[in-house]
Amino acid sequence: MKYSPEALTAFALAAELGSFSAAARKLRKSQSTISVAIANLEADIGCPLFDRDGRQPRINAAGRQVLGVVNTILNANQQLNALSVRLVDNVESLVSMVASDLFLPLLNRELLSRFAERFPDTEFRCGPSEHGDVIVMIQEDFAQLGLTASQPHYPADIAHQRLSSQAAFNLYVSHNHPLAALPSCSNLELSAERQLRLKTYAPEPDTSTGNVWSVPDYLTLLEFTRMGLGWAELPDSLVERFGQELTRLNVRGYPRTVALDVIWSRNNAPGVAGQWLVDQITRN
């Protein structure tokens, strides 16, 4: 039996967002189109996938089982699309990317020089962004590729690939900060001082307490830490390059390692040049 890729995507988004209308807005289609696509999928499978008794449809037990298989199919379809792009020499004129400051060591001169040599007529455009902001930029078509710290969950319309490398984090303060003189720091001692933290513009749960300042990117976070305004969790690679005036704190649980992902939209897969860049980054 053949299942429509559009129906599978509509089902996955409706299950994630809890609303047919929200899925329609995300896919820029009418709600009736989404409803018909999901109804056709239910007819093909042979049972309802949503309970429709309330104001909004709720995925049922059968739907949750189907959802796992559908996500596998969508991921496999994306892999096939990537392969077909590599097999057909149709190079795009622009590759746009938003990247976390964590990726500065990966986007090095050697990699970008090889990209320029291999795709001399392709413009490369890159800007900074972090976490949830990276996802929003991809979804809104402001960029084709995103490089971000691995997220516990991605929207159904976002494909991702894990990198082999990881980022190491530690807690840092300026040399003249009171915590810098301590041989080790407890959570109680940290809570008595101002915390500087990363907070993106995209909505996200805020679990911070006490005296907290926030910024949307790691370079600004590092600069605030250099000013002695508080302590912050920072990537070691960034501190090694720009944080010579910082002191690493001895805190239980650190260093902490973070996985890294490259992401893109399932609705706007990277072309030949973009896929080459994805392949090179994930191999490093």
Tokens of 146: 């995103």
Tokens of 108: 């090095």
Average pLDDT on 272-278 reads: 92
> Is pLDDT above 80 for 203?
no
Average pLDDT on 55-83 reads: 86
pLDDT band, very low/low/confident/very high, at 4 (cuts 50, 70, 90) = confident
pLDDT band, very low/low/confident/very high, at 88 (cuts 50, 70, 90) = low
Tell me if residue 43 falls in helix, strand or coil: helix
The overall average pLDDT reported for the chain is 89
Residues 95 and 124: beta-carbon distance below 8 Å: yes
Give the other-Cβ count within 10 Å of 8's Cβ: 22
The percent of the chain in helix, strand and coil, each rounded to the nearest 5, is 45, 25, 35
Tell me if residue 151 falls in helix, strand or coil: coil
Residues 179 and 193: beta-carbon distance below 8 Å: yes
Domains of the chain and CATH, by start: 5-85 (1.10.10.10), 95-284 (3.40.190.290)
Residue 152: per-residue pLDDT:
87
Dihedral in degrees, nearest 10, Cα atoms 186, 190, 196, 201 = 70
> Is pLDDT above 70 for 147?
yes
- Taking the alpha carbons of 81, 87, 90, 94 in that order, is the dihedral positive or negative? positive
Question: Does the pTM of the predicted model rise above 0.75?
Answer: no
Residues 41 and 11: beta-carbon distance below 8 Å: yes
- Of 91-105, 177-191, 231-245, 246-260, the range with the lowest mean pLDDT is 91-105
- Of 78-82, 119-123, 160-164, the range with the lowest mean pLDDT is 78-82
Q: Give per-residue pLDDT as tens, 218-244.
A: 999 999 999 999 999 999 999 999 999
- Of 11-20, 57-66, 195-204, 221-230, the range with the lowest mean pLDDT is 195-204
Average pLDDT on 42-52 reads: 90
Q: For residue 240, what are the CA distances in angstroms to 25, 84, 104, 132, 222?
A: 44, 40, 12, 25, 11
Q: Give per-residue pLDDT as tens, 135-146.
A: 999 999 999 999
pLDDT band, very low/low/confident/very high, at 57 (cuts 50, 70, 90) = confident
